[in-house]
């Protein structure tokens, strides 16, 4: 059984899945409030889900819209992680690792948004 859907091989989606897997220890940490864990879980899922949803769209403006939503969710994850670090509920090492992965995803999405914008304006 091969990959049937385009997004399954898409680098930004693969990075988003990797981020979801890597934050699982945070989501199981009993010291972190349910609200923060739920928000982090939802935001991280929205990154991957919006990238996947984009792959089913044909119109460039729609594709750009879903990439933009995914990038907004990346920023939400960064804000949550920063707050957890400030509250000393996330180690510096874990914060840096998650921050680096989110930076990578954000750069990928920014490039895709820009590419879609250029295609629309041409």
Domains and CATH numbers, the chain: 11-121 (1.20.1440.60)
Q: pTM of the entire structure?
A: 0.91
Mean confidence (pLDDT) of the chain: 93
Q: How many Cβ atoms are within 10 Å of 51's Cβ, its own excluded?
A: 28
| Percentage of the residues of the chain whose pLDDT score is greater than 90 | 85
pLDDT tens digits, 44-101: 999 999 999 999 988 889 999 999 999 999 999 999 999 999 999 999 999 999 999 9
Within 8 A by CB and 6+ apart from 99, the residues are: 78, 81
Least Cα distance to 26 among 43, 13, 6 occurs for 43
């Amino acid at each position: 059984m091969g990959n049937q859907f385009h997004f399954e091989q898409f680098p930004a989606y693969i990075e988003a899945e990797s981020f979801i897997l890597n934050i699982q220890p945070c989501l199981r940490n009993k010291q972190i409030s349910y609200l923060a864990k739920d928000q982090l879980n939802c935001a991280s899922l929205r990154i991957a889900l919006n990238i996947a949803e984009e792959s089913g769209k044909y119109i460039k403006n729609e594709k750009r819209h879903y990439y933009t939503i995914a990038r907004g969710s990346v920023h939400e994850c960064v804000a949550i992680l920063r707050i957890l670090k400030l509250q000393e509920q996330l180690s510096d090492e874990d914060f840096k690792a998650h921050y680096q992965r989110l930076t990578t995803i954000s750069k990928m999405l920014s490039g895709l948004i820009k590419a879609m914008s250029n295609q629309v304006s041409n």
